[in-house]
Amino acid sequence: MSNRPKVAFYWCASCGGCEEAVVDLAEVLLDVAAAVEIVLWPVALDFKRHDVEAMPDGSIDLTFLNGAIRTTEQEEMAVLLRRKSKLLVAFGACAQLGGIPGLANLWDRRSIFDAVYADAPSTVNPEGVRPETEFREKGRAVELPGFYDDVKTLAQVVDVDYLVPGCPPTPALLASAVEALLNDHPPPRGSVLAPDRALCEDCPRRESKPETLLVAEFRRPHLTMIEEEKCLLSQGLLCLGMATRAGCGAACIRGNMPCSGCFGPTSRVKDHGAKALSAVTSLIDSGNQEEIDRILATIPDPVGSFYRYGLPASLLRRKRLET
């Protein structure tokens, strides 16, 4: 057997974009592939759960797990891989913060099932079939994973050694992560493998930002002629760059779109959305309540705007469950 470090990739509740990021390593991928031995990668190669179970504990040097935890099966795999791996990396926004799937925390299992298996206009389900965790026919039993009320981050179910932010993480970030983690002096455990400053730091438009920035109205990208080169916030666009960790190279801004916060907060911030909200509202140019409310009304969906990627990782984690 080779003594190349054993690396695993696994996905839970995710869109596959993070897998794309791996593939996007392109020729770099070949070097990586050469440098490491990939022992698990369901997207690309066929592995079964028992293959993993067969591995001795701690035999995987490095596991990149992307996607959030939403089913029992995903939680079991997370636990299993944790046991098998020396280092477990939460890879991408979903694993780190809950990601887009995390917005499901605005509902609960029942309402989601109602929507999917009954209410959705596209649903044809005369028998009103619902997913069941156990299904027996002719004495044979099939088990399906259980479905949680909550979407959780990886760190909410197992200990995580490192986190790589991004939706998806940039190939560059992945490459540097692999390199950083496999060399002799890895960064302190628990660190997020990206700069610990806000995106404004790297923003190509920062010079255009006015000395004191005040906003009298928030505008939505698809309804706005967005000026190139000009600070997006100063154009009234809800850009979360000032509250969001740098490391993406300001990709969205270069694409003339405001930052929506997929890299999550800096290490000092407990709740990305709350801080973003606090900062954004500080820019409102009014002292009178009606005026303030008028301006705030131009932010259509606070939760969706400030917690787009991080609801499960936020202090409240979800919408209140009816008790």
User: Per CB under 8 A, which of residues 282..301 are in contact with other proteins?
Assistant: 282-284, 286-287, 289, 292-293, 296, 299, 301
Residues in 53-112 at the binding interface with other proteins, rule: CB under 8 A: 72, 75, 106, 108-109
**Alpha-carbon Rg of the chain, whole angstroms?**
22
C-beta separation of 240 from 234 below 8 A: no
- One DSSP character per residue, 225-248 reads -PPTTS-TGGGTB--GGGGSB--S
> CB of residue 174 vs other proteins: minimum separation in angstroms?
23
> CB of residue 118 vs other proteins: minimum separation in angstroms?
15
Is 253 among the residues that bind other proteins (CB under 8 A)? no
Applying CB under 8 A, the span of 5-13, 60-68, 117-125, 307-315 interacting with other proteins comes to 307-315
C-beta separation of 43 from 19 below 8 A: yes
> CB of residue 156 vs other proteins: minimum separation in angstroms?
8
The site string for other proteins over 116-145 (x = CB under 8 A, - otherwise) reads --------------xxxx------------
> CB of residue 29 vs other proteins: minimum separation in angstroms?
32
Give the whole-angstrom CA distance, residue 306 versus residue 240: 8
Applying CB under 8 A, the span of 27-35, 44-52, 162-170, 191-199 interacting with other proteins comes to 191-199
C-beta separation of 252 from 258 below 8 A: yes
> CB of residue 45 vs other proteins: minimum separation in angstroms?
30
Give the whole-angstrom CA distance, residue 195 versus residue 203: 14
Is 149 among the residues that bind other proteins (CB under 8 A)? yes
The site string for other proteins over 204-223 (x = CB under 8 A, - otherwise) reads --xx-x-xxxx---------
Residues in 256-285 at the binding interface with other proteins, rule: CB under 8 A: 265-271, 273-284
Give the whole-angstrom CA distance, residue 16 versus residue 101: 12
Is 196 among the residues that bind other proteins (CB under 8 A)? yes
Q: At residue 192, what are phi and psi to the nearest 5 degrees? A: -90, 125
Q: Which of 154, 163, 150 is nearest to 265 (CA)?
A: 163
C-beta separation of 84 from 51 below 8 A: no
> CB of residue 281 vs other proteins: minimum separation in angstroms?
4
Give the whole-angstrom CA distance, residue 159 versus residue 89: 10
Task: Report the residue number, 178 or 200, with the smaller CB distance to other proteins.
Answer: 200
